[in-house]
Amino acid sequence: MEKVNLKKNILKKEIVKIFKKFGLKNTHAIISADALINAELVGAHSHGLSRLKMYCERIAKKIINPKPKIKIKKISQSISLVDADDSIGFVAADIAIKKSIRNAKKTGIGMVAVKKSGHYGLSGYYAEQAIKKNLISMIYTGAPPAVSPYGASKSLFGTNPICFGTPTGLKVPFILDTSISMINRGKIRLAARTNKKIPKGVALDKFGNPTTDAKKALKGVQLPIGSFKGSGLAWMVDILSGVFTGSNHAGRVKDPFDDFSGPQNIGHLFITFKTNLFVKNYNNRIKDNIRTIKRLPKIKDIKKIMYPGENKFNRFKLNSKKDIKVSKIIKKDLEILNNYAL
């Protein structure tokens, strides 16, 4: 498909303008635009501009609250609860990770739950913020039904990413940000929008048959990694992000693209802690860890052993030097949103 090149700073201004037109205040529009552009730069296009139209539609329908009254409740020196008042997820998550960082800096460990939030983009984006403050983080979020619990023929769990980030003492941080599905739902969604096929063995259609048709997969069930093991990990994330935080769980998070009947009420959980709680030389220890693993003998066709986050970092570095390439479909979205009469 033909692509269009857009300059980053011009694109950012345009997104901010669009978000403000739909009612977000300036700071919230900037936070959201930065997150979307970051997703493009790390190559996670399914979490980038392809979602802009959806966010704007939800704001227009007031199921994302453009003027939220976000409250932070102190539970203890280490623990806080953010009631996001149905804000756009980026803003809720930005407030929460910053609060979790402050709590961890004060007490060694921070735990911040968020309720009444929405889709916040990439978990790894928030892990990065913690890493810049030299903290380890564990991040969990809810998501709309996509994966079937082991034994069930209907999807209920989200792709429920497990995210773990740590400083490495190297330029490139270690950020594991992995869904428990065989592939990310965003990738299937993008394939459906751009009429591409998905790999075998990652999804079933609504009749329970294997499919490589992205549109059929979206109506069917995604498969978890390691069968009942992945299903158990998804269940854990559903409990941590939903049951525990006071947010939607058990399949009740609405699909942001398909269901405009109300807010998503997604929950997030951010746990952050200092690297030097138990050792003085954490950076040297993790550098040694990474070096040792990278030196292992490799299997055929593998030149380098990469740690989680390296690929994304490399893509970010490469893409940051260039204009952002977007499909004609998305360019059209931008024009429509720019000309949208509220």
- Kindly identify the residues of this chain, within the stretch 130-159, that bind a second copy according to CB under 8 A: 136, 148-154, 156
Between CA 217 and CA 255 the distance in angstroms is: 15
Site residues for a second copy, window 172-191 (CB under 8 A)? 174, 176, 178-180, 182
Between CA 44 and CA 36 the distance in angstroms is: 9
Q: Considering only CA atoms, which of 64, 62, 69 is closest in space to residue 51?
A: 64
Indicate the residue among 30 and 237 with the shorter CB distance to a second copy.
Answer: 237
Please state the closest distance from residue 329 (CB atom) to a second copy, in A. Answer: 29
Q: Considering only CA atoms, which of 120, 153, 123, 113 is closest in space to residue 243?
A: 113
Which tokens is 217 given? 């997969």
Site residues for a second copy, window 280-319 (CB under 8 A)? 282, 285-286, 288-289, 292-293, 296-299, 302, 304-308
| Contacting residue, 199, 201, 210, 226, with a second copy by CB under 8 A | 226
Q: Decide if residue 236 touches a second copy (CB under 8 A).
A: yes
| Contacting residue, 199, 201, 208, 210, with a second copy by CB under 8 A | 208
Q: Decide if residue 121 touches a second copy (CB under 8 A).
A: no
Buried/exposed 227-262: b ≥16 CB within 10 Å, e otherwise? eeebbebbbebbebbbeebebbbebebbbbbeeeee
Please state the closest distance from residue 289 (CB atom) to a second copy, in A. Answer: 5
Between CA 141 and CA 266 the distance in angstroms is: 7
Q: Decide if residue 1 touches a second copy (CB under 8 A).
A: no
Site residues for a second copy, window 87-116 (CB under 8 A)? 107-109, 111, 113, 115
Count CA atoms within 13 Å of residue 48 on its CB side. Answer: 20
Q: Which stretch binds a second copy (CB under 8 A): 3-11, 53-61, 234-242, 257-265?
A: 234-242
